[in-house]
Chain A
């Protein structure tokens, strides 16, 4: 019984801690973040199984973790409010070409993060961005401005 309760407790604790830590963009993930994840997983493993080296113990921990995860997924699917509180909501950080500095600062992202995501989408300058959205998974989606014929940058004009 203790194993199951511990596992549930650890799951909830991690959920709360990662929500407190806040969303980070995927471009901000560093080597140190990966090390941090490894250290956390090692610590959690000790807290969950301790001295229990039995296969049954491992089965119980895995079953509980997957069970709680499925439960939360189901709750999120049924309630928008639960989904909002667990996953957060997307945040517009560039609106109609204008960076929303205050929101960006509160979300701890800067123009470089947005431009980095923009370059991946083949966009080179902030002027070409219509909207940028910080998604709940930490990625920044960039929506380019519509280029009307004859208006686009010279580099895009292909002539034979």
Chain B
């Protein structure tokens, strides 16, 4: 109630100044939070940025997989599988994508176009031709996650396994 000692009340108002000061203080913290989130987003902490951690999932001597650790639901991400020329003398490489991954994500694109693809009991199987020159080979898969959260999956590439560990933001 705003009143003056000598005058009758001209204004009936509930004002809580300590509360207001607390709100202003929290607002300043909130502004700091907005700044931190913006910088983190620019750096790639929410995916697709220069400083986004890009793990390499592989075992010694096996093909390597490059992908971003952080991604967002509904956003296209790319998984790159690198095969060195000495890895195999085979004409084609087989990639097995487990059904558990297909339940969380859809595969939008695979390059180069697989020679053959089919579903077996446990996985979606792609057969991708090796280059005729026998050099290094790269397979690029484009994925879109439909579920948020931590995800760990194993792709079987030939006789090797490549582990995908990602965090998907809602």
B10 touches A131 (CB 8 A): yes
A71, chain B: closest CB distance, angstroms:
21
Interface membership of A153, Cβ < 8 A? no
Interface membership of B34, Cβ < 8 A? yes
Interface membership of A92, Cβ < 8 A? yes
A95 touches B2 (CB 8 A): yes
Who on chain A is nearest to B4 by CB? A96
What CA separation (Å) do A50 and B146 show in the bound complex?
11
Number of interface residues of B (CB under 8 A): 20
Picked from B19, B34, B74, the residue with its CB within 8 Å of the CB of A20 is B34
Stretch from A28-36, A83-91, A110-118 that touches the partner: A83-91
Number of A-B contacts (CB under 8 A): 47
Question: Main SS of the interface on chain A?
Answer: mixed
Which residues of B are interface residues toward A (Cβ below 8 A)?
Answer: 2, 4, 10-11, 13-16, 19-20, 23-24, 26-27, 30-31, 33-34, 74, 170
Number of chain A interface residues as a range? 20 to 34
What CA separation (Å) do A6 and B11 show in the bound complex?
43
B170 touches A89 (CB 8 A): no
Q: Chain A residues with Cβ under 8 A from B30's Cβ?
A: 16, 19-20
